[in-house]
Amino acid sequence: TPLSHIRNFSIIAHIDHGKSTLADRLIQVTGGLTEREMSEQVLDNMDIEKERGITIKAQTVRLNYTAKNGETYELNLMDTPGHVDFAYEVSRSLAACEGALLVVDAAQGVEAQTLANVYQSIEHNHEIVPVLNKIDLPAADVDKVKMEIEDIIGLPADEAVLTSAKSGIGIEEVLEAVVARIPPPQGDRDAPLKAMLVDSWYDPYLGVVILVRVISGTLKKGQRVKFMAQGTEHLIDRVGCMRPKIEQLEQLAAGEIGFITAQIKEVSQTAVGDTITTVKNGATEALPGFKEVQSVVFCGLFPVDAADFEKLRESISKLRLNDASFTFEMESSAALGQGFRCGFLGLLHLEIIQERLTREYDLDLITTAPSVVYKVVMTNGDEQFLHNPADMPDVVKIKDMEEPWIQAVIYCPDEYLGGILKLCQDRRGIQKNLTYVGDRAQVTYELPLNEVVFDFYDRLKSISRGYASFDYEQIGLRPGDLVKMNIMVNAEPVDALSMIVHRQAAESRGRHMCERLKDLIPRHLFKIPIQAAIGGKVIARETISAMRKDVTAKCYGGDISRKKKLLEKQKKGKAKMREYGSVSIPQEAFIAALRMG
Ligand code: GTP
């Protein structure tokens, strides 16, 4: 296809504003899908994605559209992930496009996630076409939302396309706008090959499939290519595109988006943002913008039943086949036994992996307190990065510690602002900016990431009844007065619960933790002290009083079935307990204790 007849675009939208529904409609109208296939959302193809309503992996479809001017265009529609954890993947998808449809729910208006994506899109010099979706809803207020787009985002909105992706209204108009308003790609097809690796995933039949955008030259089947950042060479054995079904092609020329396979076994051998060039007469300079992905949040994952360790290892390895952005290494804990220390892009990413292990692989897991990466400067001048509280060096050897900070933008209706400001203040936040647009506030805070990884997002949602949106970026390390807090149950430290906290926050966090554990750990035959301590100093304490020997003793009378139930319950409980010295702690206690209230 000549460059003039190609359009590469993505759809940016706040969660639930209708991105997937619109994408499916575009595919349907251009003939890629039947009505029945439409009924299953195509672009979101993992179960968890569906349930959580988020798109994790970018996918791309090629559509052929014959416009009103009689010409047929090749439209490459790129689906991008919708969460801050996957910001780098988003940035590469955006770099592969020349424009974007900005989908805004006409009843909800502009949200923070939309803003963050729009700014990124503008940074990539995209032509942005506003699309007001859900105009079928009685609450839709097209004029108000147009004003918001102009006021908040600064984009002209008078030519916004009005759609109802659900009822199929305005879909032709969207396609016409793509052709008319989004510029065609540029690129010298005779120059040496440069293709950007946009995404990759594991397919059981094809092996690793790589999504590419060809920037210059031509990518052909049978070519020997070099992955410049990775420093590896491969033979291209398939070239194609998705419509959304796979269609094989002979080549992809500059300006085009498509996929290749090259008998690659693991996704970890492909780095998003890498430059692919030919081995012979290849490019000498890579494309700009390559970044190695780095884990931001770490936690330990341990099987509840030690016998499941091998199964956990296999399951983690399998997941990793398809998601190179999480890392794992073996870890052994005095109390939890053998497990893995895992690194994630963010908390949502952690939850997704944890949920998949539990659900798809049927594993009972104990997750230790999530931790960020701290920089420790030792008195002898050495520096080290710390992502496990268990590895914290002796305090007397530490000169300074630094912790990662983020800048967060929160967007919420005015009525919830007070609660949100308090939350940010409590989490050591520094307010940077506060502006109003109509009855909505946009507040910018700098926050230590450490204070955000616990339960910030959940708290934000509950304070705002789900109306607040939250977006963040990392802004580097800053010194902090950080200490390691241990939790002791019956005088034994429970390593899964130890964490690095700011000294000021230690006492309240320690107290919460002890109070929680008091309710979560069942009574034993003896008194159990629960303590939070920094070094040798106890900062909080609770005591679980002793219990009478026979659990059935309290059902005097002789109700046999009730007695049986109790005994059974006790037995079941046992299966999911961890022994700490002489104390049994139920599995739920770990997870619940880590959730601050
Ligand atoms: P993420 O993938 O989570 O980012 O969400 P999304 O933006 O892809 O939203 P999705 O297409 O999944 O739509 C969210 C919900 O809005 C679904 O229940 C859709 O059926 C509904 N929806 C989408 N478009 C319309 C529309 O035009 N009108 C109405 N009434 N509902 C719509």
Burial class (CB in 10 A: 0-12, 13-18, 19+), 2: exposed
Q: Is 19 in the pocket of ligand 1 (CB under 6 A)?
A: yes
Ligand 1 centroid – CA 433 distance (Å): 32
CB distance 44 to ligand 1 below 6 Å: yes
CB atoms within 10 A of CB 48: 16
pLDDT score of 521: 85
Q: Which residue has the tokens 């700009």?
A: 288
Question: What residue owns the CA closest to ligand 1's atom 21?
Answer: 18
Cβ of 54 closer than 6 Å to ligand 1, yes or no, is yes
The closest-lying atom of ligand 1 relative to the alpha carbon of residue 103 is 7
- Binding site for GTP, by residue number, is 16-21, 133-136
Global confidence as pTM: 0.74
Least trusted range by pLDDT, from 45-49, 319-323, 461-465, 467-471: 45-49
pLDDT at 581: 63
CA distance 483 to 386: 13
Ligand 1 centre and the CA of 483: distance in Å?
Answer: 45
Please choose, from the candidates 131, 57, 128, 58, the residue with its C-alpha nearest in 3D space to the C-alpha of residue 98.
128
Element (H, E) at 364: none
Return the residue whose CA atom lies nearest to atom 18 of ligand 1.
Answer: 16
Q: How far is the CA of 22 from the centre of ligand 1 (A)?
A: 8
Nearest-10 crossing angle of helices 587-594, 503-520: 150
51 — pLDDT class (breaks 50, 70, 90): very low
Whether the CB-CB separation of 112 and 77 falls below 8 Å is answered with no
| Model confidence pLDDT, tens digit, residues 262-286 | 999 888 889 999 999 999 999 999 9
Helix, strand, coil in percent for the chain, rounding step 5:
30, 35, 35
Could you read off the pLDDT of 404-444 as tens digits, one per residue? 999 998 888 888 999 999 999 999 999 999 998 766 788 99
80 lines ligand 1 (CB under 6 A): no
Q: 53: CA distance to ligand 1 center in Å?
A: 9
What was the pLDDT predicted at 359?
87
What is the pLDDT averaged over residues 301-316? 91
In the DSSP assignment, the letter for residue 198 is: E
The CA distance from 68 to 539, in Å, is: 73
Q: Assess whether the C-beta atom of 134 lies below 6 angstroms from ligand 1.
A: yes
- The alpha carbon of 20 and the centre of ligand 1 are apart by a number of angstroms equal to 7
Joined together, the tokens standing for residue 533 give 């301590």
What is the atom index within ligand 1 of the atom nearest the CA of 13? 7
pLDDT tens, position by position, 346-372: 877 888 888 889 888 888 888 888 889
CB atoms within 10 A of CB 415: 12
Q: Which of 20, 41, 102, 135 to mutate to test the pocket of ligand 1 (most atoms within 8 A of CB)?
A: 20
Region of poorest pLDDT, from 37-46, 62-71, 324-333, 580-589: 37-46
Task: Spell out the residues 6+ positions from residue 457 whose beta carbon is closer than 8 angstroms to its own.
Answer: 347, 470
* Of the listed ranges 6-20, 44-58, 414-428, the one predicted with least confidence: 44-58
| Mean of pLDDT over the chain | 85
Helix, strand, or coil (residue 491): coil
Assess contact for 62 and 78: CB atoms under 8 A. Answer: no
The number of beta carbons lying within 10 Å of the beta carbon of residue 586 is: 18
Report d(CA 303, CA 361) in Å as an integer.
12
Q: Which of 34-43, 90-99, 271-280 has the highest mean pLDDT?
A: 271-280
Q: How many CB atoms lie within 10 A of CB 203?
A: 13
67 Cα–ligand 1 center, Å: 26
Q: Tell the burial category of 569 from Cβ atoms under 10 Å away from its Cβ (0-12, 13-18, 19+).
A: exposed
Q: Tell me if 17 CB under 6 Å of ligand 1.
A: yes
In this prediction, residue 533 has a pLDDT band, given cuts at 50, 70 and 90, of: very high
Nearest atom of ligand 1 to the alpha carbon of 21: 11
- Residue 486 pLDDT exceeds 70: yes
Inter-axis angle of helices 309-322 and 347-359, to 10 degrees?
120
- Alpha carbon of 46 to ligand 1 centroid (Å): 17
Of 368 and 195, the structure prediction assigns the larger pLDDT to 195
SS3 285: coil
Give the full edge-to-edge strand order of the sheet including 6-13: 59-66, 72-79, 6-13, 99-105, 127-133, 161-162
Using alpha carbons, select from 71, 74, 81 the residue that is nearest to residue 9.
Answer: 74
Instruction: Kindly state if the Cβ of 165 falls inside 6 Å of ligand 1.
Output: yes
Q: Which atom of ligand 1 is nearest to the CA of 53?
A: 3
Least confident of 90-99, 133-142, 241-250, 552-561: 552-561
Cα dist. 223→245, 256, 258 in Å? 24, 17, 16
Centre of ligand 1 to C-alpha 190, Å, is 42
Ligand 1 proximity of 164 Cβ (cutoff 6 Å): yes
Q: From the CA of 165, give the closest atom in ligand 1.
A: 27
The finding on whether 55 has its CB within 6 A of some atom of ligand 1 is: yes
More confident residue, 151 or 191: 191
Query: Which range (143-147, 358-362, 453-457) has the least confidence?
Result: 453-457
Whether ligand 1 lies within 6 angstroms of the CB of 461 is answered as: no
The percentage of residues in the chain with a pLDDT greater than 90, rounded to a whole number, is: 46
- Give mean pLDDT, residues 232-261: 92
| pLDDT reading at 373 higher than 50 | yes
- Nearest atom, ligand 1, residue 24 CA: 11
Which atom of ligand 1 lies nearest, measured to the CA of 163? 27
Q: Determine the pLDDT at residue 54.
A: 39
Closest of 245, 219, 250, 257 to residue 96, by C-alpha: 257
Residue 293 CB less than 6 A away from ligand 1: no
* Band of pLDDT at residue 31, cut at 50, 70 and 90: confident
What is the structure's pLDDT at 131? 97
CA distance 200 to 322: 8
For ligand 1, the distance from its centroid to the CA atom of residue 17, given in whole angstroms, is: 5
Q: Which of 16, 22, 27 to probe ligand 1 with, by most ligand atoms within 8 A of CB?
A: 16
Residue 136 Cβ inside 6 Å of ligand 1? The answer reads yes
Q: Is the pLDDT of residue 55 over 50?
A: no
Any idea which of 215-219, 465-469, 491-495, 501-505 has the lowest mean pLDDT? 465-469
